Structure 1
């Protein structure tokens, strides 16, 4: 008997003929977690083929996958913006959490996907507050019905948790990419509106955030660690993206936040409702010190930041 999978878990791609366990694992590792994401990638590949003048032949795997996705209930419900009420007016919201852990159990990166809309929260390290906030916002949890969150687990002694920098304020940006659109052309984004010299030896650092599937607004949260708290810091954090496989020179800004205050040992940066162009995209964080020295922050799965000469 064939095992029946619930399409709502966003992971049962083996329901499709021709996709086995190995292919499913490769898709998941590449960040393709939902039916909507798989359908979008298949459609994009078919569009590239049509644009190059290649005709579909009998036995064309992309065409067969597209037909199966059209008929599959999981692909049909993916991306639905309005929940469907069940018996008694109740509804269900499903989320898929995937974490990458070290051999000691320390989270290094992960994604949390809202199955109904396909929206994702990308995490570097771990932030229970970000996960709870994402679930509450996407599920529409009634205010006051959520129990108080427990205190976050303590970080290793070498990286004590300090009070975070005051909530960053989003800067206005020019012509952000539309959902499903392309990256903006070079020069379409304004420069950082500060010219104050940086007084630290390290002016900028770049961190690998990972890969995300674009096409719908999503929240991205990055946690950076230092050996301990530092002096006052004014910073600008830019989220950069490029389509996976494109040249390393094609990074374009996606979102910007700023902050000022005592530099914490654990700096948590949240970028809400980031519009990432469709397809599989690589994402980086560029942190610039605007006032004061920049601590030697590192992502939880990196030995240290990439230094940039200024």
Structure 2
């Protein structure tokens, strides 16, 4: 009798209608900052929770392990061209610790939690194609707990926010973009049931240290504001502008830093400029004395002395100089 019940339960799970009610989740934020409660990068095709029905848009389920099913939901996550300025791609550094956020949706379990992996390809530009690749793709993080009291903010809230702490592979090349998949194994379905969310990471040079906290320093506690799921608005950018430890996300990674090739010769030392000669001290030179030009008009006439002599005829007669 027990075997019959188990087979019936598996058949019901395989139809997916119970699974659609009891098990569903997705990533709301690829790069979440617990201190500022801001999201710095989103999944493919994300448009928030207020403008769309999140259950219909973001739930992507694999029933009964269909290995030929596309890894990414084709309509909204089939391409990396689904980001926007409001919901940008995350920019990371090689080796950076990232917090990825999702809701527990009633699946918190401290005794036997379900698990998830962060899958990726280290070939820039390579895309996941089918669900079968979950078994062969490299794992940036393996065996993360989906929802426990240790990684979810409020274990009494069925929609509490949960975080996965993982490290960006250190071998990723700056200036390139890589494809990642959040892959949740919901093993409570005997027929098999998985969920995926696809996202991309733009890798920037490791130009500054990134400080991180363990999950024990973040949770448990009250849930953060859900406004982080509404994108990088003007209010968010204003908050980022005064937060020195964070930078606003961009859609494209910054160009890689290029360095000149090494050389065996030491770089030339610039020559010091020659000192400017100081002017000689000023000398007090007197102008030459004026000289009187020589007299070329003949000998000088003797200067007259005494009374002036009259030269009239009467006086000349007296002097005997005029004949009588």
Normalising by structure 2, we get a TM-score of: 0.26
Query: Which structure's residues are more often strand, by fraction?
Result: 1
Max Rg structure: 2
Q: Which has the higher contact order (CA 8 A, sep 6+)?
A: 2
Normalising by structure 1, we get a TM-score of: 0.27
